Structure 1
């Protein structure tokens, strides 16, 4: 069975290996460039860090995001082109009648296919994730957005769970619907829906968030996108604590007594150079409320999500074994 599985799978394996080699060459080149530029911006002065941060982000966010999207798409492609046709091909070509009436039972046939090809799916996606994680590590460290929906899903170990889930999902859907094109379409639809729901609805609730008070100073400004004033007071936009997952997009800047920081107070600090103005504001003991997931929860989140996907994968596989024994004919 192992030899037969390899013969049927070798074309897909060679295509995957060639694609992975091409991606590896590009990511090694990109990672080297990121590291060179990271060295240049690492020693920025607080007053210049906002500009340096934006320049560094603009230089590499597009490239790393494109590769991240490709990595997230890889499990979907595996589910569509490896998982969905696995059984439907046998059913449509009527070879199932030969294969499943030999000494090898249909349960053993499915178990061998699932184990070997799931491992292959995880290996391909894992190597891709390892390369991207290395290439983007300095960018993630400086920009501080490891919990971002795209970054989180395309780094470290969670892509392994996506790959296993997508492959088994495609296989089980193919087993049930018995039509290749329909199975491919349903696999893509289900996987896409799951990948939208988990980061946008589920992930932030895996652990209880933390709310704390942050001093409004030069460091806070260097980690923010903008500082604005309106009739309701001052706001800080896009602040991200080092390595944390920010759940606060915009926060009101408050005085020490909790009252809003007003435009009149800001004008009093607007008479010098930007660095002097910032130092003046920092000296007024301002603060804002910030809700986030701490940086030290990154790996617990990775393991929780990986475990959840693997758990669902095992349930799908169990359903597949039950179906092929009792419902497939």
Structure 2
């Protein structure tokens, strides 16, 4: 059974192996270039940020590709071709047939994801230390443990979709839809609530205002950063006694140029209340989110093993 599953999977494995070798070579070269150049932080960003972002995009897409091209066709093409009947009429049980397929391709997904994630984490680590933005969606999802969990989840999702629909192209479409929705909801809805955030009061100086991403017509700010931390939410601008800044005072400050607005707001002795996740919790978040994805993976696998016993031949 293992040999048969390997023969059916070897074409995808060969393509993936060639891709991984090329990608690993690019990452090793990039890592060496970053380290051999003796660059300062701003120089690292100028010379290498574009290439790192490109590789981040590749790794963000990799789990979806695993689900589409490894997971969805794994069982659905057997149904489309009728080859499942030959196996099911032998001594191999349906559950064993599906379990072997899941374990073989799952191991391949873990190895591929771990290799690329480890190399990208190593290659980009000098730039990551300078930016200090470990919790952002693109960095968190392409470093360390998370990409491996994403890949295994996408694979089993594709297998179960193929088992339920029995047609490869619709199964691929369903896999992509569910995976994209999951990846969109997780960083925006689930991740902020994995641990209770810390609270602090942040003074709004002229320098802080100059580093903000947005100043609107209402007395609130956007883009406040806490070094090394993930800002979950910020309150409206507050005065020294904790009251909300009067709209007319705020309006007078932002009516002029941005530079004058920064100086004006900085002179008002303002602050905001901030909910944030400190950088010390990074690994806790990695483990928690990976555990959630692996839990969903096991649940999907259980659904597949339950469904396979009741599937019509």
**TM bucket normalised to smaller:** 0.7 to 0.9
The aligned counterpart of 1:49 is none
Q: Structure 1 length normalisation: TM-score?
A: 0.80
Contact 2:235–2:272 (CA under 8 A) maintained in structure 1: no
1:20 is the counterpart of 2:12 = no
Deviations 1:1-20 (A, max 9, x none): 12222222122112111111
Where do 5+ consecutive residues of structure 1 fail to align? 42-51, 265-269, 271-276
Q: Give distance in 1, aligned partners of 2:115 and 2:142.
A: 12
| One of 282, 301, 306 as aligned partner of 2:290 | 306
| Deviating more after overlay: 186-195 vs 26-35 | 26-35
Q: CA deviation at 1:36?
A: 5.3
Aligned length: 301
Deviations 1:245-269 (A, max 9, x none): 12247974x67555769889xxxxx
CA 1:39/1:241 → structure 2, altered by over 3 Å: closer, same or farther?
farther
What secondary structure sits across from 1:291 in the alignment? strand
The aligned counterpart of 1:321 is 305
Q: Give distance in 1, aligned partners of 2:76 and 2:217.
A: 63
Where do 5+ consecutive residues of structure 2 fail to align? 254-258
Contact 2:109–2:152 (CA under 8 A) maintained in structure 1: yes
Contact 2:234–2:273 (CA under 8 A) maintained in structure 1: no
CA 1:231/1:187 → structure 2, altered by over 3 Å: closer, same or farther?
closer
The aligned counterpart of 2:133 is 145
Contact 2:94–2:308 (CA under 8 A) maintained in structure 1: yes
Contact 2:215–2:222 (CA under 8 A) maintained in structure 1: no
1:240 is the counterpart of 2:228 = no
Q: Structure 2 length normalisation: TM-score?
A: 0.83
Q: What pairs up with 1:53-132 in 2 under 5 angstroms?
A: 56-57=44-45, 59-132=47-120
Q: Give distance in 2, aligned partners of 1:188 and 1:230.
A: 37
Contact 2:66–2:155 (CA under 8 A) maintained in structure 1: yes
1:180 is the counterpart of 2:168 = yes
Report the aligned-residue RMSD: 3.2
What secondary structure sits across from 2:273 in the alignment? strand
